[in-house]
Amino acid sequence: MNQSTTYKIKCKNEDFQVTEVSLMPSLISKPPRFTYFWLQKSGLTTFDILDCIKTFFNLKFEDVANQGLKDEDAITEQLISIKKILSRKDITAFNKKYGAGNKYSRIKHVVGYGDKPIKERMLHGNSFRIVVRNLESSVANNLLDYLSAHRHHHFINYYDNQRFGMPGGPYNTHLIGEAIVKRDWKEAYNHIKITNNIPPSFIPKLENAINCKEVFKKINPKKVSFFVSSYNSFLWNNQTSLLIKDNTKSKKHHFENVGHLNLPTAHSFQCPHICEADGYEFENEKFTVKRKVNSRNVVVATTIYADDLEKDELHINKKKITISFFLPTGSYATMIVKQIFLKISKL
C-alpha cells in the first residue's frame, strides 16, 4: 500500500471543524416573525438538528430553515432560522436538553430577527480546519513541501461520499433518489429502510407502492429533496469524469463509496469551466420531480494554509498536520484532501 494513502482524517470530531460563511439575511427592528441564530453541533446531521428544533419548539417542517448541510462526524457551525421569536429562556432550555454529550447541538447566539426565512445554499461557502493524521515522516514532509509550494491549489470539484450516505454506510442515497425520479416508490422504500432515515412508526404494514409513497410524505421534504439531489450528484460526477477524459490527459481513480472518476495527470491543464448534466428537482407541493439541468464548476481553486508538523498523539511514531482553507458552497473538503494525496503519491 502506498504510504500516502494511509492518512486519516476525522479520527475525532474535533479534527474536522467547519464554519459557514453565510450570506446574511436582512435584519429588521419592526415586529419580526423569524429568529436567526448560530448553531454549533457535533455527532448529528443537519437533518437531525432540524428535527430536534422542530420538535422542541413545536414547529412545522417549513418553519425551520438552513442554508447548508453539515457532516455529523465533525464540529460544525451554521446559520438557522425559525418562525418563532426566541427568548433567552427558550435558548437556555434548548441547550440544556441538546447541548451536552458526544452528540450535541447548541444555540451559540442570536444573530437577529427578520420577516423571511433564510434560503438554502445562500452561502459564500465554508471555512475548514482539518487535522490530517497517521502520516509517516516522509509523507508528512512531502505533504508540507507540496502545500508550501502550492498554496494556491485547484482540484476537480467532484461530489464526495458524504453526498451519497452516512459514515459506516450504506451509501445509497443516490439510489433512493433514482427510484424517486422513476416513481418507483417501493424500490425507494427498499433502499431507505436499510438506513436510519425513517422512524419505526413510519414503517408500513403492507409494503405496496401506495403505502411506500406515504412513508416519504411523512418525512422532512428537505430530506426527500436531498435524495433527488444525491442522484443528481451521481449523474454530474459521471458526466464530469467523461469531460475530463475527453479534454485532458487523465487517469481513472477509485474513490471509495463514490466510484471510478478521471483526474488530469498534469498539474496544469485545460478543460471547460462548467459541466452541465441532466438532473431533476423535487417539487414538494405536487410531490413529484421535474427535469432540471445541474450546472457546476468543474475546477475550484482555494488557498491552503498549513501549520507545522506535529507528533500525532493518537498514532505511535506518526505525524499530524493541520490545514485550513475556504471552499465555495457545495464543494467537498474531503475531496480536495484526497486529490492532494494522489498528487503527492507521485513525489
- Which run of H or E residues covers position 47? helix 46-56
Residue 1 above 50 pLDDT? no
51 Cβ contact partners less than 8 Å away, ≥ 6 residues apart: 220
Average pLDDT over residues 252-268: 95
Residue 2 above 60 pLDDT? no
Average pLDDT over residues 43-53: 95
What is 106-138 written as a DSSP string? EEEEEEEEESS---TT-EEEEEEEEEEEEE-HH
Q: How far apart are CA 246 and CA 166, in angstroms?
A: 32
Q: Are strands 16-22 and 75-82 parallel, antiparallel or unpaired?
A: parallel
Structure-model confidence comparison of residues 3 and 14, the more confident one: 14
Average per-residue pLDDT for the chain: 94
Residue 31 above 90 pLDDT? no
Q: pLDDT of 133-147, one tens digit each?
A: 999 999 999 999 999
Average pLDDT over residues 207-225: 92
Structure-model confidence comparison of residues 112 and 209, the more confident one: 112
Q: How far apart are CA 52 and CA 327, in angstroms?
A: 28
* Three-state secondary-structure class, residue 15: helix
Residue 231 above 70 pLDDT? yes
Q: Can you give the pLDDT at residue 120?
A: 84
Q: Can you give the pLDDT at residue 4?
A: 56
- Which run of H or E residues covers position 295? strand 288-297
- Ordered structural domains, the chain, with CATH: 24-114 (3.30.2350.20), 158-297 (no CATH)
Q: Can you give the pLDDT at residue 224?
A: 95
